[in-house]
Amino acid sequence: MNFSLTTSAALSQRQPAAVLFAFEKERLDGPVAFRNLLRRVGPKEFRGTERQLFLLHTAGKLAPQRILLVGLGERDNFTIETMRRAMGLAARKLRDSGIERAAVQVGDDHSDNSLIAIVEAAILAMYQFRQFKPQDDNDATDLNSLTLCIPPRADLPVAKRIVAEAQIVAEATNYAREIGNLPGNVVTPRVLADYARTLAKESGLACTVLAKNELVKGGFGGLLAVGGGSANEPQLIALEYNGVPVPVAGAKRAAAANPIALVGKAITFDSGGISIKPADKMDEMKFDKCGGVAVLAILQAVARLKLPLHVIGVISSAENMPSSTSYRPGDIVTSYRGKDKRGVTIEVLNTDAEGRIVLGDALVYARERGAKTIIDFATLTGACVVALGSVAAGLMGNDEALQEKIRASAHRTGDRVWPLPLWQEYKDKIKSDVADIKNTGGRYGGAITAAAFLAKYVGDTPWAHLDIAGTAWTTEDLPYLTKGATGFGVRLVVDLLRRWS
């Protein structure tokens, strides 16, 4: 998508369409010709309610050939998410009408945040997963160019920077969606490692991949157990970005000495293993890699934004399959030990609770690499989906201040999260008679007992856990996100990291 900026009005642009946002119960103003056109629009045709759209032809009376009116609902209820949704619907309406170029009026009363929302929503809404089903030639129109019309007094260079940065973040989100949507036969752990290597080369990141024999040598017992049932061998993928300028001083030295680790679950396909899942919706388990993929995408954005931070990405990737080499219920496996005397031992009660096991190894590895803060992303539990639906991710951890920051970023980006408690009673649920912990905590509070399992591995390192099981993909089209992987977590954590310090 191409963006250009101007301080002249959308209604003065000679373009196939101009997009105007309107609050409910407020009159749109403009030149006489525009007001005359509006007079013909019946109150039921367009009242400015949320999600309402109305396309009218200007028949040569105004510079744009068409005007798309987009409802925002009542001004009092307006949030930045309202704008994102409105622009997402508008972009789809334009594309479905065969319109490739349009001017968008960014209003006086809309702030810089509206500009960000408009750019992001347009890029996100136009994404389609088309690798295996290309569009046919006769409906191959795509909305590909937007002129953003900002108020006459606005600062153009500042607006330009805002647009460029919003573009980076939205494109990173689409990068995550594209890899997330790829099926299990295409993206195996090894292929995911190749994506990481390519990203590292393009973005100037350091990349380390531990393949099967290195995992054996290192004693990554959790990842090896989970991946053991598949011919597609497990991989531990690490990416490192250091944007702290050298020579470092003051606050910046602190950033270099306090690397942030982003840890992701990347099960390229989760059949459940020996504790196999029912056939219904099992196909959706290709999305079980979305936590790890979010980590890739966040590192892409962090590098393109050149943030003055030190960030380490750790992706624990395996395929969970049933076979004669699978791990079994009853097995006792030993996690990667890192610098500890011994690794945590796990009694496996259900091979389908594999995410926490692969994350255990990755969390220890992240701490060994010097992480001073850890955020993990995982499509970890069906229980989280029961609790929060697909509206918000579960947020847990051991650090209130970190959680507050994440909640603030969630509010700004629309990648919503909601906290769940991590009290001792939940930790007691995963105690085992024969090992340090067991990998299931019973039927109730499943999202939390899974987080309690992870807590075993982070010690006192400030840590936040995002259970994205309900938000990593959508089975219905949303205003600015179509069916499939959503890239959840990318906009959220990039926002968090931009404000880090």
Q: Which of 240, 270, 376, 467 is in the footprint of Zn ion by CB under 5 A?
A: 270
The one catalytic residue in 277, 337, 369, 498 is 277
Taking the least distance from each CB to Zn ion, the nearer of 100 and 331 is 331
What is the token pair recorded at 185?
A: 């036969």
DSSP per position, 15-39: SS-EEEEE-TT------HHHHHHHH
Contact call for residue 379 and ligand BES (CB under 6 A): yes
Which of 233, 352, 361, 376 touches Mn ion by CB under 5 A?
352
CB nearer to ligand BES: give 204 or 389. Answer: 389
Q: Give me the 385-404 binding string for ligand BES, x by CB under 6 A, dash otherwise.
A: x-------------------
Handedness of CA 267, 237, 212, 226 (dihedral sign): negative
Segment (H or E) for 360: helix 355-368
Helix (H) or strand (E) holding 267: strand 260-270
Among 171, 178, 233, 270, binds ligand BES (CB under 6 A): 270
Residue 467 in contact with ligand BES, rule: CB under 6 A: no
> How many CB atoms sit inside 10 A of residue 336's CB?
26
Q: Does 50 bind Zn ion (CB under 5 A)?
A: no
Q: 108 Cβ partners below 8 Å, 6+ apart?
A: 151
Q: Is 270 in the site for Mn ion (CB under 5 A)?
A: yes
Residue 189 interacts with Zn ion (CB under 5 A): yes or no: no
456 is catalytic: no
Nearer to Zn ion, 252 or 438 (CB): 438
Q: What 3-state DSSP class applies to 251?
A: helix
Quick one: which H or E segment has residue 343? none
Contact flags string 288-317 toward Zn ion, x per CB under 5 A: x-----------------------------
Q: Binding to ligand BES by residue 381, rule CB under 6 A?
A: yes
CA distance 312 to 310: 7
How far is CA 365 from each of CA 336, 409, 432, rounded to the nearest angstrom? 8, 27, 24
- From the centroid of its chain, how far is CA 409? 12
Nearer to ligand BES, 268 or 300 (CB): 268
User: Judged by CB under 6 A, does residue 353 bind ligand BES?
Assistant: yes
**Does the protein bind ligand BES through residue 230 (CB under 6 A)?**
no
3-class SS letters over 274-303: CCCCCCCCHHHHHHHHHHHHHHHHHHHHHH
What's the angle, vertex CA 175, arms to CA 206 and CA 89, rounded to 5?
150
The one catalytic residue in 85, 356, 367, 491 is: 356
Binding partner of residue 244 among Mn ion, ligand BES, Zn ion, none, CB cut-off 5 to 8 Å per kind: none
DSSP state at residue 323: S
* Residue with smaller CB distance to ligand BES, 270 or 319: 270
Q: Which stretch binds ligand BES (CB under 6 A): 33-41, 89-97, 255-263, 375-383?
A: 375-383
Q: Which position has the token pair 């609050």?
A: 23
Indicate the residue among 178 and 288 with the shorter CB distance to ligand BES.
288
User: Which does residue 240 bind out of ligand BES, Zn ion, Mn ion, none, counting CB within 5 to 8 angstroms by kind?
Assistant: none
Asked if 334 is part of the footprint of ligand BES (rule: CB under 6 A), the reply reads no
Chain positions 353 to 412 lying near Zn ion, rule: CB under 5 A, are 355
Look up 431 and say whether it is catalytic.
no
Rounded to whole angstroms, the maximal C-alpha distance in the chain is 81
Query: What DSSP element (H or E) covers 260?
Result: strand 260-270
Interface residues toward Mn ion, by CB under 5 A: 270, 352, 354
Interface residues toward Zn ion, by CB under 5 A: 267, 270, 288, 355
